[in-house]
Every structure is written in structure tokens, then in C-alpha cells.
Amino acid sequence: MKINFVLFCCLFLLNNNCRKEDKNDILKSIVITDNGDKFYLSDGIGKVYKKEGLKSYKFFVPHKSLNYIKEIYVSNNLEKLSDDHIIHSTNKDSIRPKQRITTISFYFKNNDKKQITFQDDGYNSPMDRFPEETIKPIFQESFMLIKKIRDSTNERSDLLR
């Protein structure tokens, strides 16, 4: 009986020490900055701050979208990227480079911050010229969320998915 208890305790302690921390739980919120507008996304709540002033709009953030972004972040080991990772469009021959800048900032519960910035010429669908396949789904989901938010505030959205 004592041996079973000792074995149980050893296995329990080993299991707890070997268990990886769930990285989805350490991500606090996501901020998307697109064309000067800031979209604050957190579980269930969100706010948009417009570049023309201090106008703010509240909107509902679908848990499914936010969890999908977190899942991609964790599964593709994006924590290994630099804190300010910049991606340039594959359209090198553009007449007007860097016209559209979209930044996704990840805020963590330990007050760390990681930014991924995509600089594009702003023509048509930016996802057609996205160079990094591991990060592309995060920007696709983010652009879809921005489009939904802009459409719900009766603002024309030029983002194509």
C-alpha cells in the first residue's frame, strides 16, 4: 500500500514538472494597427480607435477568431521571432512602396510585447503578396476581423481576403 502511494506521488510530481505551460493562457490581448486605426482585441471585448480623432467604437470579438490567432502563434513558434519583426511585400517593383502598414502587437500577461509588421503597396489584395507562409494565416484572420468591424460601423472596407 505504501509502495503504491509512493509511486503515485512520484508519477504525480513528474507529470507536473514535465507539463508544458499552455501558451494560449499567457497571451493577454492583441492590438491591430491598420492605416492609423487601432483595433484592441481581447476575449469577448474590443474597441476601435479611429485615426481622425478620439472616436471609439465597441464591438464583439469572436472567441473563435482570437483563439485561432493564438493557436497559429503557438503552433508556428512565432515567439522565436524578434520583438519587432517586419515583413515586406513581395511586390518589389511597386511605384509606391510601403503605402499600407499593418502591425499586429501581441501583449502577454508578463507585460512582454511582440510586434509583427507587414508593409505593402496597398493595391488590391495584400495577401497575394505575403511572403511568409507561417505568419500569413494570422494576417488573413486579422484582415477578416478588420473587414467585419469596418462593415459593422458602416465604413467601406477595401480589404480583400
Sequential DSSP letters for 17-48: HHPPP-HHHHEEEEEEEETTEEEEEETTEEEE
pLDDT value at position 156?
53
pLDDT value at position 159?
45
pLDDT value at position 160?
41
Q: Structural domain boundaries of the chain?
A: 23-152
pLDDT value at position 52?
62
CA 10 to chain centre: 39
pLDDT value at position 40?
82
**Alpha carbons within 13 A on the beta-carbon side of 120:** 19
pLDDT value at position 2?
64
Tell me the per-residue pLDDT of 55-77, one tens digit each, with 9 for 90 and over. 666 777 777 888 888 888 888 88
User: Quick count: other Cβ atoms within 10 Å of Cβ 76?
Assistant: 16
pLDDT value at position 67?
83
Which residues of the chain, if any, have pLDDT below 50? 16-21, 23, 157-161
**Alpha carbons within 13 A on the beta-carbon side of 137:** 14
pLDDT value at position 107?
85
